[in-house]
Structure formats: C-alpha cells, structure tokens
C-alpha cells in the first residue's frame, strides 16, 4: 500500500506542476492579448475625442499595472508549488488564481467596450 501511495503522490505532483505551468502559459498569453487590446482601444478612443467613462479611463491610463495583474499570479502559481506540500490544495489554489485572472480580464474587456455600448445605445434611439 505504501508504494501505491507513493506513486499516487508522484502522479499528483506531476499533475499539479503541469497545471501550474499551463496556467502560467495562459497568463502570459492573456497578458499579450490584453495589452494589445488596450493599445488598440486607446488609439481608437484618442481619435474619437470623447469623454470616457471612469473604468475605461482607469484601464487605459493604468496599463502599467497589467503585468502585476496577469503575470504576478503566474509567479505565485509556480512559487506555491515549491511551498505547498498538499497537492490537492495546490491544484485548488491554481484553479482559484485562474478564476480571479479570468474575472479581471473580463472586467477589463467590459470597461474597454463600455463607451462603444453607450454610443450604440445613443445611436439606436
């Protein structure tokens, strides 16, 4: 039974490390995609010359926080693999980090599209 527990533990370590590395790759991809989207929207809104809502202005003006928001969790996800011994808790933490980053990126997208939704609403009346 001891050998079986050892192989289960080794398999769980491999799964935990693999999920952490895939999460990091996903965070890096999200970083590049989101930073490109912010640049495109920033250029578009600067050409429009309209007053932007506060969330949109915040996202555009604080684009330098994007590495902390998207790459920081990647560092934490890999760092926790060395610190956490319970690999089930480690997997749960990785999942939690992914959910938090997804909500943050969803909020950024919502903030970027808010002026366009407002414009469409005004034009449809």
Identify the pLDDT of residue 4. Answer: 57
Side-chain-side CA neighbours of 38 within 13 Å: the count stands at 23
Tokens of 30: 């999200």
Rg (CA), the chain: 20
Q: Domain-by-domain residue ranges, the chain?
A: 2-123
* 84 and 112 Cβ atoms separated by less than 8 Å: no
Quote the CA–CA distance of 3 and 119 in Å, as a whole number.
65
**31-61: per-residue pLDDT in tens?**
999 999 999 999 988 877 778 899 999 999 9
Query: Residue 1 pLDDT more than 60?
Result: no
Model confidence band, residue 109 (pLDDT cutoffs 50, 70, 90) = very high
Location of structure tokens 């480690």 = 90
Identify the pLDDT of residue 107. Answer: 95
Q: Is the pTM of this model over 0.75?
A: yes
């Amino acid at each position: 039974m001891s050998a079986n527990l050892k192989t289960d533990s080794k398999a769980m370590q491999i799964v935990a490390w693999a999920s952490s590395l895939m999460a990091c790759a996903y965070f890096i991809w999200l970083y590049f995609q989101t930073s490109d989207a912010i640049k495109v929207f920033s250029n578009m809104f600067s050409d429009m010359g309209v007053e932007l809502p506060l969330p949109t202005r915040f996202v555009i003006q604080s684009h330098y926080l994007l590495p902390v928001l998207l790459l920081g969790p990647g560092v934490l996800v890999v760092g926790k693999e060395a610190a956490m011994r319970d690999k089930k808790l480690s997997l749960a933490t990785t999942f939690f980090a992914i959910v938090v980053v997804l909500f943050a990126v969803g909020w950024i997208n919502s903030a970027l599209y808010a002026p366009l939704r407002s414009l469409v609403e005004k034009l449809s009346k």
